[in-house]
Amino acid sequence: MTPRRARQLHARRCLACAALLFAAGQAALAVGIEGWLPELRDPLYGQKLGQLRDRLPRHDAADGLLVMLGSSRTVHGYDAGVYEACVRSGGLAATVYNFGIPGGGPLTELIALRRLLKEGIRPDAVLIEVLPALLVDEAMRQEATHYPAARLWHDELPLVERFAGRTDDSRGLRTDWFVSLCAPAYAHRLPIKRRYWSDLLPREGHEHLFAPFDAHGWAAIPDAVRTPEAVQRGVELARQSYAECLGGLRVGLLAREAIDELLGLCRENQIVATLVVMPEGPRFRQWYSAEASEEADRYLSELADRHGVALVDARAWCGEEAFLDSHHLLCSGATAFSRRLAQNTLPVAHQRVARVPRGKTP
């Protein structure tokens, strides 16, 4: 064999070995993400799941588990630590956790509960945020777009397709999922950087990826950030996002289906559910037309009656000074709201949590 031929053969072997090592690395990463690294598939869900797992062993096995599902209103407005202290002072042994996800709505809540049950974590009671502005079909479709293929497990693809209203694009979502499975280092590059090399990832535009959740899953908004300029910016952004929708609000079929499925899942797993409408400031409530307000009230009342669950409508519980932008509570507002919520929901939660030890799915 000539020297040139030998060098070519050696180069080919090196390339083949590199390709095999790369493929093996991708396969190992894919298996890891699928099995025990959920924070790389869905960073916020994985972060909160890890926190919840850390909290469970710290309490007596007879403690009940109460979780609140919701949007950024829940993330910032529900101080689960205060709520837990209140229910414990009322004689109820419970571990309480805020499982709110920014940008979440009925679909996100349904996915979160399905995932918890799949992980073997069965709450004894759940508080379910219902945000009227997200009950329209267009909002449901937009929420579904928050779930690109790489953020989903394979068994969740049909669920997201259904609520996204996908038809011709369904194959595209599944194709994207298999591509992400084959090249996880690329598909999950931002979560990987965040977990292992966070200094390489700019914080601007990724604030929620760095949310400073406390041990109970709450992300407080300090009262000090409520300056006139911040309030003006926040209220204007909220107006642009919600005013038009609230003026002509009509509860859509997709939202009805998602919430019915969520409450059905609670019933099947013997989880006591309570519907909670989070506080809204006087400015925010002015954007509801009379017809929209009647529509929301009628739907919420009918929903609670049909499923036999409690409804806590806290929209008017807090004054404008408790909010940053008329719908996200500041730290002091969240504390006051959480105490009052505990007083209102303790009797309902007690029916289940005080009677049944914290359990896992059968």
Among 33-42, 135-144, 150-159, 247-256, the least confident range: 33-42
Strand partners, 275: 128, 311
The Cα-based distances of 204 to 100, 196, 207, 223, 233 in angstroms read 22, 18, 6, 22, 17
Please check the confidence at residue 141 and state whether its pLDDT lies above 50: yes
Give the mean model confidence (pLDDT) for residues 25-37: 73
Predicted local distance difference test score (pLDDT) of residue 276: 97
Could you tell me the pLDDT band of residue 212, with boundaries at 50, 70 and 90? confident
Confidence category of residue 203, pLDDT binned at 50, 70, 90: low
Q: Residue 36's pLDDT band (boundaries 50, 70, 90)?
A: low
Residue 130 to residue 127: CA distance in whole angstroms: 10
CA distance 330 to 142: 27
Question: What tens digit of pLDDT does each residue of 148-162 get?
Answer: 888 898 899 999 988
Q: CA-CA distance, 89 to 91, in Å (whole number)? A: 5
Question: Which class is 43-136+211-353 in CATH?
Answer: alpha beta
Q: Where are the domains of the chain?
A: 43-136+211-353
Q: What average pLDDT does the segment 45-66 reach?
A: 82
Asked if the model's pLDDT at residue 27 lies above 90, the reply is no
Position 165 confidence tier, pLDDT thresholds 50, 70, 90: low
Say which range, 39-53, 111-125, 231-245, 308-322, has the weakest mean pLDDT.
39-53
Query: Is residue 285 predicted with pLDDT exceeding 90?
Result: yes
User: In whole angstroms, how far apart are CA 36 and each of 28, 50, 75?
Assistant: 12, 11, 24
Alpha carbon distances (Å) from 255 to 14, 25, 75, 143 = 55, 41, 21, 11
pLDDT at 148: 86
**Predicted local distance difference test score (pLDDT) of residue 210:** 52
Using CB atoms within 10 A of its CB, is residue 20 exposed (0-12), middle (13-18) or buried (19+)?
Answer: exposed
Helical ranges in the chain per DSSP H: 3-35, 38-41, 43-55, 72-77, 80-89, 106-118, 137-145, 157-164, 170-182, 184-187, 189-196, 228-247, 253-268, 282-285, 290-307, 331-353
Average pLDDT, the chain: 86
pLDDT tens digits, residue range 61-118? 557 899 999 999 999 999 999 999 998 888 777 899 999 999 899 999 999 999 999 9
